[in-house]
Amino acid sequence: MKKSNFFAFISRMKYINRWGLMRNIKDENVSEHSLDVAVIAHALAVIQKRRLDKDVNPEKTALYAIYHDASEIFTGDMPTPVKYSNTVIKTAYKDVELAASRRLLKLLPEDFYSDYEGVLIPREDEKEIWKTIKAADKISAYIKCIEEEKSGNKEFLKAKQTILKDLISMDREDVNIFMSDFMDGYELTLDEME
């Protein structure tokens, strides 16, 4: 059996910092971000299942979310204003992300491919899972803005407004429920939460 460096590469997500164009009070890396997105994506899927009566798999959604930015091990974190500045860049970057994900998959032993291919490379028949992860990703970014603002950093105020507009424009019941039921806690101090 050939040796694999897949998990060694995955562990390097902790070295990829996010929000590169912004002054951060607390740096955030891709590993931390992926955990946050997985927790939120799982919650959104539970909301879909329990409150919206949808046939979803929260555990699968959380698993996919853990790996949703794994391609950034090879690509780095492209700042959102650059990534989405025009359709040519957006399309090219999606192609680069896909190539990086395929490269990651090829690092695994062949008998693992079927277990990891869907995790690393979005499939059309699982697009709803990826939409949930995208929504969780936006919520995570919104929470980051709140945390920076609470620390006295005004650098994230505009980003916070833009992300909130994006979340509202998604027009998703699960997102609205999460924002209504859980978001207030992020504005509180530890003592206020208790």
Confidence at residue 87, expressed as pLDDT on a 0 to 100 scale = 86
Give per-residue pLDDT as tens, 6-44.
999 999 999 999 998 889 999 999 999 999 999 999 999
Distance CA 30, CA 14 (A): 6
Give the residue-averaged pLDDT of 136-164.
96
Question: SS3 for 78?
Answer: coil
Q: Token digits for 44?
A: 């959104």
Give per-residue pLDDT as tens, 76-122.
887 777 777 788 888 888 899 999 999 999 999 999 999 999 999 99
Distance CA 125, CA 129 (A): 9
pTM of the prediction?
Answer: 0.93
pLDDT band at 135 (very low <50, low <70, confident <90, very high): very high
Long-range contacts of 150-159 (CB under 8 A, 24+ apart): 150/187, 151/25, 151/26, 152/25, 153/23, 153/24, 153/25, 155/22, 155/23, 155/24, 156/22, 159/22
Q: What is the DSSP letter of 155?
A: G
